[in-house]
């Protein structure tokens, strides 16, 4: 994991400026070196978050990209609450890409909440202190005797008050307090935090207003379709450009040479036209000669056969974790379980396909309108590719129609930048077709596990062994997200354990999909532990609680967002107990129905979930899901929190039931929703969500509810049919 970003309140600097006849409060967030692929290098300088106008309008900058996770609403809620603002007077604007002003701007990893919980509150509390000081000067009263409420400073003794707008100019002249020392609210006094507030952009979305990247319109804009090789890693040899250029409405067609990095720019042909439909139709006329190289023979069936042979025959390439005497534990075991699990490549398929708009100015600088989860990474990456400094690449952040990790990779930004450089002075919008999107993704890696468990004569788990077969992309600097943690549960709680892995080479681009790694590991580990539980004559919740019995909280550590609380078995116990209570675990079920349980800890969140399922006419029905989660002491926006948990659960069910990307001839077989069927409303279950509060700072909800629903479903199907699901997606024929 990258080096932590120092975002504790002790690291905040202060400054204020007068802006537009009101108060503008800034806070600087010093940054440490981070992975260049995320934000690049930057030094912290001042960054403005809050402006108060004379008419009492409080404009708050939402600094992070919005992909539907509600962060554009949630972060300003933190500031507004500590300010004692009237939410009805708050206006939220999207911040531009600027690492120096705003610090990290990213949407991914469920990082936004833990990364910003304290800094954004401190910004709001600092503004409140400045407004109190301004009122104190005007009235000649000690500020300690004043209070604030709903956008006003109040003198309780006299009953008089001043609005924030009336105080804005005076407050701008007040010295900014030390934000590390400003008093923060007692949570019992929150009036915005904890309220269910709808998304700030929801009315615009309902009205169909242009807020997404693909909605970008600029004077004189032209449109690009970009044809890549269907075979990953192929090199372009030649193309019939003259034929394409002769098509009606086509402005130009030219070859774009890749830079050797699939995450940035691959070989292809750009077709430019006066609208996207013409460009896309014209590229159908392309006849391209590709050098497919060694990867054209690769296939999912070949990977599966090779992986299973490795599990059966080969010794692992490397050991990830090992303690105790694993071989002795298995030799002395009263019962040994041995099973193989596997899961496929998966695509992201957000509703808004990849797109970006770029304008290469005549001085060589680039301006971009990008629906990116990592706009700072895109900015620095494009600048490096073009030989520019990052300040010469201006990136406007647009709202995204979903991301799920796909937009962490900025290949589409690099592609349109290369195209726009060919056409200086002319705005160019590049849009992926759905087929481009499905076949040009960065996929959740497929994987295989051979698992063994050893039980003693009392049914206690005394040994655990996992040989994980995964992928790597050859070449320096390639991102390989097909990883398994040495601490993967139950690693630390079994006396004799070994985790090992072997890597196969591939050219299939891989990337992070919502709850990366966890979305696969939960299925494998929790399904196999359910097997272990049944072999021991127990249910899975009982086994999990026995595994962590007597275990203490692990020490805190430094994570990506700063201090990260160590794994706490008490939180596992709490969510497990709550989920069992919610579902009525152990109750007699209607005929043909069964319950299954799954648990997982990821992204600093604990979730236990129970699924109710049935089989009818060869169809798997998911009727109910009960989810209990612990993401800390405070749910900031219950509306957004519920949306995230429900969406995660639906995503997980969809992955389990139907989704798989297959490789044939080095290319993706699937092309659109007809053969990659994401879940739709009729298959959506009733979802009940409850949160268990704990004495921990809040953490994110975009991902941790997804992993446990998959094993909860597979375990429910075992309870219903007596047949184990060890391969995803679920083949209903195997349950007959």
Distance in angstroms (rounded) separating the CA atoms of residues 732 and 658:
10
Over range 175-198, report the average pLDDT.
94
The pairing of beta strand 428-431 with beta strand 447-455: unpaired
- pLDDT band of residue 481 (cuts 50, 70, 90) is low
The pairing of beta strand 268-273 with beta strand 222-228: antiparallel
Question: Do the Cβ atoms of 663 and 305 come closer than 8 Å?
Answer: no
Question: Do the Cβ atoms of 439 and 671 come closer than 8 Å?
Answer: yes
pLDDT at res. 12:
24
Question: Do the Cβ atoms of 643 and 668 come closer than 8 Å?
Answer: no
Give residue-wise pLDDT tens across range 692-714: 999 999 999 999 999 999 999 99
Sign of the Cα torsion 572, 576, 578, 582 reads positive
Over range 267-294, report the average pLDDT.
98
In the block, which residue shows the tokens 């390989």? 480
The pairing of beta strand 619-630 with beta strand 686-691: parallel
Distance in angstroms (rounded) separating the CA atoms of residues 531 and 598:
12
Which residues are registered as beta bridge partners of 261? 265
Question: Do the Cβ atoms of 197 and 87 come closer than 8 Å?
Answer: yes
Distance in angstroms (rounded) separating the CA atoms of residues 362 and 424:
6
Give residue-wise pLDDT tens across range 505-564: 999 999 999 999 999 999 999 999 999 999 999 999 999 999 999 999 998 887 766 778
CA 538 to each of CA 489, 541, 599, 715: distance values in angstroms, whole numbers, following the listed order: 19, 8, 16, 13
- Reply yes or no on whether the pLDDT at 278 is more than 70: yes
SS (H, E, C) 518-539: HHHHHHHHHHHHHHHHHHCCCC
When the pLDDT of each residue in the chain is averaged and rounded to a whole number, the result is 92
pLDDT at res. 476:
65
Structure tokens belonging to residue 456: 């003693």
- pLDDT band of residue 725 (cuts 50, 70, 90) is very high
> CATH: 3.30.365.10, 3.40.640.10, 3.40.50.2300, 3.40.50.300. Which one for 9-206?
3.30.365.10
pLDDT at res. 477:
60
Sign of the Cα torsion 533, 538, 539, 543 reads negative
- Buried (b) or exposed (e) across 237-251, using 16+ Cβ within 10 A? eebebeebbebeebb
pLDDT at res. 550:
93
pLDDT at res. 556:
85
- Reply yes or no on whether the pLDDT at 5 is more than 50: no
Count of all residues that appear for the chain in the document: 736
- Reply yes or no on whether the pLDDT at 192 is more than 70: yes
* DSSP H stretches of helix in 440-592: 518-535, 540-547, 569-583
pLDDT at res. 172:
81
- Buried (b) or exposed (e) across 167-206, using 16+ Cβ within 10 A? bbebbbebebbebeebeebeeeebebbbeebebbbeeeee
Q: Is the peptide bond before 407 cis (omega within 30 degrees of 0)?
A: no
* CATH 3.30.365.10 fits domain 218-293+354-431: yes
Q: Is the peptide bond before 388 cis (omega within 30 degrees of 0)?
A: no
Query: Percent of the chain beyond pLDDT 70?
Result: 92
From the number of C-beta atoms within 10 Å of its C-beta (0-12, 13-18, 19+), residue 313 rates as exposed
pLDDT at res. 546:
98
- Dihedral of the CA atoms 724, 680, 619, 720 (nearest 10)? 40
Which residues are registered as beta bridge partners of 469? 448, 502
Give residue-wise pLDDT tens across range 114-169: 999 999 999 999 999 999 999 999 999 999 999 999 999 999 999 999 999 999 88
Distance in angstroms (rounded) separating the CA atoms of residues 294 and 107:
36
pTM of the model: 0.92
For domain 315-346+443-735, give the CATH number.
3.30.365.10
- pLDDT band of residue 480 (cuts 50, 70, 90) is low
Question: Do the Cβ atoms of 413 and 355 come closer than 8 Å?
Answer: no
**Phi, psi angle pair for 478, to nearest 5°:** -70, 135
- Dihedral of the CA atoms 723, 724, 729, 735 (nearest 10)? 0
pLDDT at res. 174:
84
- pLDDT band of residue 13 (cuts 50, 70, 90) is very low
Give residue-wise pLDDT tens across range 386-438: 999 999 999 999 999 999 999 999 999 999 999 999 999 999 999 999 999 99
pLDDT at res. 474:
87
What stretch(es) of the chain map to CATH 3.30.365.10?
Answer: 9-206, 218-293+354-431, 315-346+443-735
Decide: helix, strand or coil at residue 148.
strand
pLDDT at res. 571:
98
pLDDT at res. 18:
24
Enclosing H/E stretch for 78: helix 71-83
């Amino acid at each position: 994991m990258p080096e932590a970003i120092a975002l504790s309140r002790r690291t905040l600097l202060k400054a204020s400026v007068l802006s537009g006849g009101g108060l503008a409060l800034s806070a600087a967030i010093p940054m440490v070196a981070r992975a260049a692929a995320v934000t690049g290098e930057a030094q912290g300088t001042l960054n403005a978050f809050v402006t108060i106008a004379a008419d009492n309008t409080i404009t708050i900058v939402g600094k992070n990209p919005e992909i539907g996770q509600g962060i554009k609403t949630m972060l300003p809620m933190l500031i507004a609450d500590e300010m004692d603002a009237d939410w009805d007077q708050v206006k939220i604007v999207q911040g531009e890409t600027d690492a120096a002003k705003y610090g990290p701007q990213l949407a991914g990893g469920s990082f936004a909440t833990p990364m910003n919980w304290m800094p954004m509150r401190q910004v709001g509390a600092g503004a409140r202190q400045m407004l109190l000081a301004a009122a104190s000067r005007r009235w000649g009263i000690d500020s300690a005797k004043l209070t604030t409420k709903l956008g006003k400073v109040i003198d309780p003794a006299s009953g008089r008050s001043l609005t924030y707008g009336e105080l804005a100019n005076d407050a701008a002249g007040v010295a900014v307090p030390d934000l590390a020392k400003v008093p923060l609210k007692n949570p019992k006094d929150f009036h915005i935090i904890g309220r269910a507030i709808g998304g700030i952009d929801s009315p615009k979305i309902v009205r169909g207003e242009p807020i997404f990247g693909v909605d970008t319109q600029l004077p004189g804009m032209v449109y690009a379709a970009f044809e890549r090789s269907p075979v990953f890693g192929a090199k372009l040899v030649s193309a019939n450009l003259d034929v394409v250029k002769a098509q009606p409405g086509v402005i130009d067609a030219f070859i774009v040479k890749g830079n050797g990095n699939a995450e940035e720019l691959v070989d292809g042909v750009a077709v430019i036209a006066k609208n996207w439909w013409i460009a896309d139709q014209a590229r159908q006329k392309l006849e391209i000669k590709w050098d497919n190289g060694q990867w054209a023979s690769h296939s999912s069936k070949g990977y599966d056969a090779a992986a299973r042979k490795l599990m059966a025959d080969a010794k692992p390439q490397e050991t990830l974790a090992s303690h105790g005497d694993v071989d002795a534990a298995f030799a002395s075991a009263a019962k040994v379980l041995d099973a193989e699990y596997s899961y496929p490549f998966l695509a992201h398929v957000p509703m808004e396909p990849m797109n970006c708009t770029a304008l290469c100015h005549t001085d060589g600088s680039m301006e971009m309108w990008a629906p990116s989860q990592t706009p700072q990474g895109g900015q620095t990456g494009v600048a490096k590719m073009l030989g520019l400094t990052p300040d010469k690449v201006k990136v406007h952040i647009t709202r995204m129609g979903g991301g799920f990790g796909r937009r962490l990779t900025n290949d589409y930004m690099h592609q349109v930048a290369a195209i726009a450089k060919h056409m200086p002075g002319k705005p160019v919008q590049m849009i992926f077709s759905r087929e481009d999107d499905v076949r040009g993704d960065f996929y959740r890696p497929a994987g295989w596990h051979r698992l063994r468990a050893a039980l003693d004569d009392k049914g206690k788990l005394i040994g655990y062994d996992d040989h994980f077969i995964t992928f790597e992309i050859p070449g320096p600097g390639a991102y390989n997200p097909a990883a398994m943690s040495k601490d993967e549960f139950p690693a630390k709680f079994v006396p004799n354990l070994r985790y090992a892995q072997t890597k196969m080479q591939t050219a299939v681009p891989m990337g992070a999909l919502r709850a990366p790694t966890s979305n696969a590991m939960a299925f494998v580990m929790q399904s196999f532990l359910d097997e272990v539980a049944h072999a021991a004559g127990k249910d899975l919740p009982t086994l999990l609680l026995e595994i962590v019995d007597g275990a203490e909280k692990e020490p805190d550590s430094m994570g990506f967002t700063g201090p990260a609380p160590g794994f706490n078995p008490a939180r596992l116990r709490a969510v497990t107990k709550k989920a069992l209570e919610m579902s009525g675990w152990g109750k007699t079920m209607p005929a043909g129905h069964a319950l299954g349980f799954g648990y997982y800890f990821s992204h600093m969140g604990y979730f236990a979930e129970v699924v109710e399922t049935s089989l009818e006419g060869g169809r798997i029905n998911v009727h109910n899901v009960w989810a209990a989660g612990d993401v800390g002491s405070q749910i900031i926006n219950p509306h957004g929190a519920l949306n995230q948990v429900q969406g995660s659960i639906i995503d997980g069910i969809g992955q389990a039931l139907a989704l798989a990307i297959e490789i044939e001839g080095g290319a993706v077989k699937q092309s659109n929703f007809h053969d990659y069927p994401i879940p739709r409303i009729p298959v959506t279950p009733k979802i009940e969500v409850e949160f268990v509060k704990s004495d921990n700072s809040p953490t994110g909800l975009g991902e941790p509810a997804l992993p446990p629903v998959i094993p909860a479903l597979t375990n429910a199907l075992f309870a219903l049919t007596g047949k184990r699901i060890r391969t995803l997606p679920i083949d209903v024929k195997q349950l007959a």
